[in-house]
Amino acid sequence: MINHRVDSALPGYLILAARVPTNELSSMRPRALAQLGALLARAQKALNLILKPQHLYIGRYGHTAGHALHFHMIPVCDWVRQSFFMDPRYRILQGLSKHSAADETDGAELTLYVWREFCESPNPPAISGPPIHEVVARLKVSMSDLKI
């Protein structure tokens, strides 16, 4: 199953979840694993076509028992990076980071920023680009047309 993350204000933040209540890839049937991989690939291709993100993070973070295995797909467009760099609250990360240039960061810092500002904040940063409902509509069409 694939859905836009319900508590995210970031257009294109997707959650891809297994239909069976497992937290173990190794317990899934080969056909389900193949479907999972193909769906990840189609979603990645569709997000790249629609949003043209600078980075697309795909990760598994959840480990709570009783929840289905799921992957987060986080598109990081240039405007998200710029919003991160313009937010003075995240400048402390720059001092802790191994990155030397003022416009460098890593996936962990940007993921933290997306989670805190676009998922948990009652006042998320301004969106640049198509709104969530438009991205979802375009993803539905694009993913049904894409063959991997």
The pLDDT, as a whole number, for residue 93 is: 67
- Whether the model clears a pTM of 0.75, i.e. scores above it, the answer is yes
**CATH classification at residue 60:** 3.30.428
Whether 105 shows a pLDDT value over 90: the answer reads: no
Give the containing element (helix H, strand E) for 75: strand 70-76
What pLDDT score was predicted for residue 16?
93
pLDDT band at 25 (very low <50, low <70, confident <90, very high): confident
Residue 98 is predicted with a pLDDT of 61
Does position 133 have pLDDT exceeding 60, yes or no? Answer: yes
Predicted confidence band at 145 (pLDDT cuts at 50, 70, 90)?
confident
Residue type, position 80, single letter = V
- pLDDT, one tens digit per residue, over 57-67 is 999 987 677 77
Number of structural domains (the chain) is 1
Strand partners, 3: 15
Q: What is the pLDDT of residues 37-86, one digit of tens each?
A: 999 999 999 999 999 999 999 999 876 777 788 999 999 999 999 999 89
Can you give the pLDDT at residue 49?
95
| Domain that residue 10 falls in | 2-145
**H-assigned helices in the chain:** 30-51, 78-86, 91-96, 107-113, 132-145
